[in-house]
Amino acid sequence: MVSIAGSKKLKRQMAPTFWGISRKNHRFVVTVRPGPHSKSASIPSAVFLRDTMKLVFTLREAKSAIYGGRLKVDGIKRKSLHHGIGLMDVIELEGLHDVYRLVPKNSKMLQPIKIDETEKSKKLVKITRKTTISSGKTQLTFHDGRSLVVDTKAKVGDTKAKVGDTCLIQIPEQKILEVIPLEKGSQVIIIKGVNAGKIGKISDLKAGTFILPKRVTVNIGDREIEIPEYIVLAIGKDKPAIQVE
């Protein structure tokens, strides 16, 4: 059987800070393999259980939980130590009542928060690509690697989905419940940078140029900042559609 390309380990000194690992105990740590999220924006499932959440104490215990099918990500059992867990993923561990969602928080790209069990079937996903395919259908691609084929107008209710908008979907069925447009007045959460985890309201959008990407102006409390559109995620109109903090 052919093995998957790529290393299974990473030097601890090179690991992202949001993994929450110690850097001097050992030389190497389990790394992320190709999957739904990029390597720089996700946490391997074994590291998440052992170092980020501290639900297990050793890699052997993490292996037992994961290989035993006790870990669920977005409602699906994941049996790989290297599966990347990323932005807005919902995590459950069999035997525990707590359900977690990974969100940006306290200037860190990914931090787990406890959520109500009634929200474990809901997830926010950002549209990163929109493509017309055969039979006049439209394929939406989301930030977590999943894709969904919809009708030609890509409509949910009275809202037409476009790149940059956010969809509230039901998992694991991948049913779109609501489309949250990225527009003036929308509430957004910043997902990268020193302001990661801050929630604000869009006051202006600026088109991109040859040099600059598309930008948005966000009001955060008494501050107003201008940042690239790709580091914000629309979460609702008047209030977040689901818990994100």
Looking at every residue in the chain, the average pLDDT score rounds to 88
The per-residue pLDDT for 36 is 87
The per-residue pLDDT for 154 is 53
Residue with tokens 């939980």: 65
Q: Are residues 112 and 19 in the same domain?
A: yes
Domain-embedded: residue 195: yes
Other CB atoms within 10 Å distance of the CB of residue 142:
21
Q: Are residues 32 and 130 in the same domain?
A: no
pLDDT digits (tens, 9 = 90+) for 18-67: 887 877 778 888 888 888 888 888 999 999 999 889 888 999 999 999 99
Question: Angle at the Cα of 28 (from 25 to 30), degrees rounded to 5?
Answer: 115
The per-residue pLDDT for 152 is 58
Q: Could you tell me the residue range of the domain that residue 211 belongs to? A: 187-236
Mean pLDDT of 7-24: 80
The per-residue pLDDT for 21 is 80
User: Amino acid letter at 45?
Assistant: S
Q: Are residues 111 and 176 in the same domain?
A: no
- As a whole-number percent, the residues of the chain with pLDDT over 90 amount to 55
Q: Is the per-residue pLDDT at 149 higher than 90? A: no
Q: Are residues 57 and 85 in the same domain?
A: yes
Q: Domain holding 46: CATH number?
A: 3.10.290.10
Q: Domain holding 226: CATH number?
A: 2.30.30
Burial of 185 (0-12, 13-18, 19+ CB in 10 A): exposed
> Which of 7-11, 121-125, 208-212 bottoms out in mean pLDDT, i.e. has the lowest?
7-11
Structure tokens at 126: 């950002």
> In total, how many domains does the chain have?
3
Q: Are residues 196 and 152 in the same domain?
A: no
Residues near 114 by Cβ (< 8 Å), separated by ≥ 6?
98, 99, 100
